[in-house]
Amino acid sequence: MSEPIETIEGWYALHDFRRVDWTRWQAWEMSRRQEALAELSDILGQYQSVAPDDGSFALYSIFGHKADLLFVHFRPDPHTLGDLEIRLDKSLIGPILTRPYSYFSVVELSRYLARGISEDQIHTTLKRRLEPAIPDRDYICFYPMNKRRQGSDNWYMTTRDERRELMKNHGIVGHKYHDDVIQIITGSQGLDDWEWGVTLFADSPLPIKKLIYEMRFDEASARFADFGPFYVGPRLSREALISRLS
């Protein structure tokens, strides 16, 4: 059996994608829509008012047909994530905001990052990465991924040292873009259909495109990575969403 690498976990994450049923929404009377929007504004205000030590939240508009909106939540307790999505589901506008996709995971770091750090100090030293504030960047890109398990390209049958070297080289490519793209990796083995969720933040879609393209040529990706759908879009304020729906 190949030796697994231990991981360190932080906050739980929920990527809650929503689609607006415009036909149904526009059929509502104006007074009903206004009441629903007032409630939605209150809900978004509650989401945004989370204290930095208690979690993080951001709202995005998603390009294309896959979804219209993305609510991103990070929280210490998974029960809280369930309460947040149910709060929206049970609101007046809940039936209008259908859910084409969602992703549940937990912030994950490799034990490599904790080398030389005592067990008692790990969460203190790595707090910013384990309990991330959502970066103040204009765009988000989210995609799920797996490590391949096929024939000679079986990630889980490589040795620990081989995986370490492959990921080291993978990280060198990523580091070239560290000023332009911020990355949060969440683990989802046993929690969702894929093994990891990757969330990228940047001020333009182009650095994200260039980073992903260059990483395609890295062996860790070229041989061992399978990618799910990509969701991309700009950050959206509460006021902008209410205006869009008005």
Q: Which residues are catalytic?
A: 143
β-bridge pairing 196-202 and 182-187: antiparallel
The DSSP string of 77-136 is -HHHHHHHHHHHHTSTTGGGEEEEEEEEEEEEEEGGGGTT--GGGHHHHTHHHHSPPPP-
113-131 b/e (C-beta count within 10 Å ≥ 16 → b): ebeeeeeeebeeebeeebb
Residue 92's identity, in one-letter code, is L
149-162 b/e (C-beta count within 10 Å ≥ 16 → b): eeeeeebeebeeee
As a whole number of angstroms, the distance between CA 235 and CA 217 comes to 30
As a whole number of angstroms, the distance between CA 101 and CA 246 comes to 25
Question: In this structure, what DSSP letter does residue 216 have?
Answer: T
Residue 234's identity, in one-letter code, is P
Residue 57's identity, in one-letter code, is F
The closest alpha carbon to 25, from 241, 207, 183, belongs to 241
